[in-house]
Each structure stands twice: as C-alpha cells, then as structure tokens.
C-alpha cells in the first residue's frame, strides 16, 4: 500500500491485507509489570495451539479492577496471557479493543520507551491532524510520526471493517498490535493495524467511556 496524502485520507476506506499483529517473532514474553508497548504472549484455543504475540496498550481500572487494554483482534484469539491474566472481552470488528485481567499489577499507566525508561500516561485525548505522536510496540519499539487523519475506516478483508480510527504515518510491524499511541503524558489510542507506510489506531477516549474506565 502506497503512502497516502492528507487529500487521499479524506473520507475513504483503506484496505489492508491484515492487521499488524499475531505473529511469532523471536521475542520474550511480557514481564509481570506490564507497560504499554511490552510484548504479550498467548496461544490459540484451537487444536494447533498456535502462538500469538501482541503488545500491551494501557493499564486501566474498571470499578477498581485492573486490566491491560489492547487490540480486540488480539484478545479474540487467545486464552490466558502469560504472566498477565485471562482475556476479559473482545470488541472486533467495527471497533478494535479488548481487555486482559491484570490481578498482579499496581503501577500507574506507563509506556515503555525502549531506552530503559517509561512515560507515565496521565490522561486520554484526541490528537490533531498534523500533530506529532508516538507509538510503542514489541517489534518496532518506540517510533514517532504525524497524524494523517481522524475518523478513518479500515478494511482488513473478509468483511472486517474498523471505523473511526486515527491514521498516522508511523510504520508498524507484526506483533505491534495493541500498542499505545501517545505523546508526552497523553494517551490517544491502541494500534489496530497497518504496515510500513501507514498505521491505524482505535481511539482511547471512547473505549474508556464504553468500559466506564479510567487510566490506572
């Protein structure tokens, strides 16, 4: 898929062969203290017990219960996530978010910057077109770029559409799905899919509202 201009982004449906996720690269599973962008590992419930890797998004609280927010197409495939907890629910397609029970976690919502430090996320927001934003993920680590458009619809094939996404020019790779979109202390969304030229994120504020959640 070629790089899209702002003009091309206005009001069209993007088609991507697959979401950027669910691969099995040679990478360690997430540690017990899960930060946004950290690797997460599970296996499919099918007979092949296929391994799946995704990235953590944001730590959230729903009625004082802690969860890891990630992409819904990640949580629809897995069983328990190693060193984290069990799937909570899945919302995909249409939207693309899900949560994982995290009974052992207690830290504030933070993003792994992959330089030995983390960024605390203080609030959720909506970015502006043209704004600088960053993402964190297990495969491509922390990378930054620009917001290309809001309220974009992505077609992943087989009738799987995700609407209302944030489009950016940040390249992403397999395993990055679910990772956070952020800048400084503001969280904007979790990675739904993309490729080396364009990426799409499920916005964070409507997910928090749907769950009645707050950032941890």
Catalytic residue among 21, 55, 177, 192: 177
Instruction: Verify whether residue 77 is a known catalytic residue.
Output: no
Instruction: Verify whether residue 44 is a known catalytic residue.
Output: no
Residue closest to 166 by CA, chosen among 148, 178, 186, 184: 148
Catalytic residue among 55, 91, 96, 192: 96
Query: CA-based Rg of the chain, rounded to a whole angstrom?
Result: 15
Yes or no: say if 96 and 202 are a contact pair by the CB < 8 Å rule: yes
Catalytic residue among 21, 38, 55, 73: 73
Query: CA 9 → CA 152, 154, 163, 188, distances in Å?
Result: 8, 11, 13, 19
Q: What angle do CA 183, 187, 193 make, to 5 degrees?
A: 95
Instruction: Verify whether residue 73 is a known catalytic residue.
Output: yes
Active site residues: 73, 96, 177
């Amino acid at each position: 898929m070629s790089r899209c201009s702002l003009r091309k982004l206005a009001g069209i449906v993007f088609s991507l062969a697959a979401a950027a996720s669910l691969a099995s690269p040679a990478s360690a599973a997430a540690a017990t203290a899960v930060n946004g962008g950290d690797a997460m590992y599970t296996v499919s419930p099918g007979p092949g017990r296929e391994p799946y890797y995704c990235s953590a998004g944001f730590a959230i609280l729903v009625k004082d219960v802690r969860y890891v927010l990630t992409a819904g197409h990640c949580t629809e495939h897995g069983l328990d996530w190693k060193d984290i907890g069990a799937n909570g629910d899945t919302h995909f397609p249409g939207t693309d978010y899900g949560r994982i029970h995290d009974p052992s976690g207690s830290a504030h919502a933070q993003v792994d910057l992959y330089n030995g430090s983390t960024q605390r996320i203080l609030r959720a927001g909506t970015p502006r077109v043209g704004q600088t934003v960053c993402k964190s993920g297990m495969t491509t680590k922390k990378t930054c770029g620009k917001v290309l458009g809001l309220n974009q619809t992505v077609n992943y094939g087989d009738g799987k559409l995700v609407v209302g996404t944030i489009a950016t020019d940040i390249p992403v790779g397999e395993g990055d799905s679910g990772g956070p979109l952020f800048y400084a202390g503001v969280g904007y969304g979790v990675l739904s899919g993309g490729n080396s030229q364009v990426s799409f994120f499920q916005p964070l504020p409507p997910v928090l509202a749907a769950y009645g959640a707050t950032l941890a």
